[in-house]
Homo-oligomer: A and B are copies of this chain.
Amino acid sequence: MAKQRANIRDVAKESGVSLTTVSLIINKNDQRISEPTRQRVLDAIEKLSYTPSRLARGLPNRRANTLAILVPQLQNAFADVYFGELISGIYEEAAARGFRILLEVARRDYIKRREYMQLLEDCSVDGIFFLGATEEHKFLKEFDASDRPLLVVNNHFSQWDLHHVVCDYAAAGRDAADHLIELGHTRIAHISGPNDVVLTTRELTDAFVGRLAEHGVRLSKSMIVGGEFQVETAKLACDELLERDPDLTAIFCANDKMALGAYQSLRAQSKQPGKDVSIIGCDDIPVAALSDPPMTTVRMNFFEVGAESCRQMLKLIETKSMDGRINKRIPVELVRRASTAPIR
């Protein structure tokens, strides 16, 4: 029984060159290698069906060629389109560049014990993406002590500036406001996200309210109710809003799920979403287009946020320049469907 896996030495022997040559060739630094030699080595590689070991490859330069995605343990983070898109975006870009993706679920105690630092310290990964961060995750600050990058995906923090890539929530708020104004609405309400813990959704609200004001429409605090990003809570929030102003004509919801909740609330009161009350969502998750009526919403390209995050991460890793903060905003886009209509 011969050796199991061929290694670089076997290839060198087979093709009659030194391992350096082989190494240079598999690393594409082959400007200097002569074509015949190259071909000979390539043949040997083929013949022995040689695959360089990632483990051994990483050792000399302490690079794992692996990135970690840290997801806080939520009810069901994985069962969420939002995280799904983000992860897919990161994955695609990483795979294209030869990077593997490690998954880490950050339980509360995991966080407390700073175990996430292990990932970096034991050379498991070259960088970490943090998804679903909230103001509660103050611990993230510690990452900055590390020589490997941390990048916050689709959120950021007021207090410390960490590398981040986010959707342009402010633009989303403005687009929603412009759209409703354009349709002639003035009695407007807003179901917000958890503004106390997530900065981006706060930006959304502020931009929305601010832009309405620019148009001369004042949105009183009482017409902004938090909906926790969930259908059920948003339904209650909408009930509340309708009670406070039975004659309101439009509601902007901080995500599509909550807009669905608003639909339910309206229907329960025999009002027609899109006719009696215009509803505008945010995110453009798949069901938005399929809902009844098809939902007007602000499209957030989460896949692109993930992909761009990964591109920035790879840049950080390659340049090793930790100075200068990554701070990217991904554009959003208003999608007009049937849940908004001109005021009658």
A102 touches B (CB below 8 Å): yes
- Checking B77, B88, B290 against A84 with a beta-carbon cut-off of 8 angstroms, the contacting residue is B77
Chain B: CB-nearest residue to A57: B122
Residues of B within 8 A of A64 (CB): 54-55
Residues of B within 8 A of A62 (CB): 53, 55
Residues of B within 8 A of A147 (CB): 4
Residues of B within 8 A of A53 (CB): 59, 62, 122-123
Contact of A102 with B105 in the complex, beta carbons under 8 Å? no
Q: How many copies does the complex hold?
A: 2
Q: List CB contacts (< 8 Å) of A81-105 with chain B.
A: 81, 83-85, 87-88, 91-92, 95, 100-105
Residues of B within 8 A of A76 (CB): 81, 84-85, 88, 286
The smallest beta-carbon distance between A91 and chain B, in angstroms, is: 6
In Å, the complex CA distance between A40 and B55 comes to 31
Chain B: CB-nearest residue to A69: B103
Residues of B within 8 A of A69 (CB): 103
- Checking B51, B101, B290 against A103 with a beta-carbon cut-off of 8 angstroms, the contacting residue is B101
6 closest Cβ contacts across the A-B interface?
A: A78-B84, A79-B84, A79-B81, A51-B121, A55-B58, A54-B122
Q: List 26 A-B contacts (CB under 8 A).
A: A4-B147, A51-B122, A53-B59, A54-B123, A54-B124, A55-B58, A55-B123, A56-B59, A76-B84, A76-B88, A77-B84, A78-B80, A78-B85, A78-B87, A79-B80, A79-B81, A79-B83, A79-B84, A79-B85, A88-B105, A91-B103, A91-B105, A95-B105, A100-B102, A101-B103, A103-B103
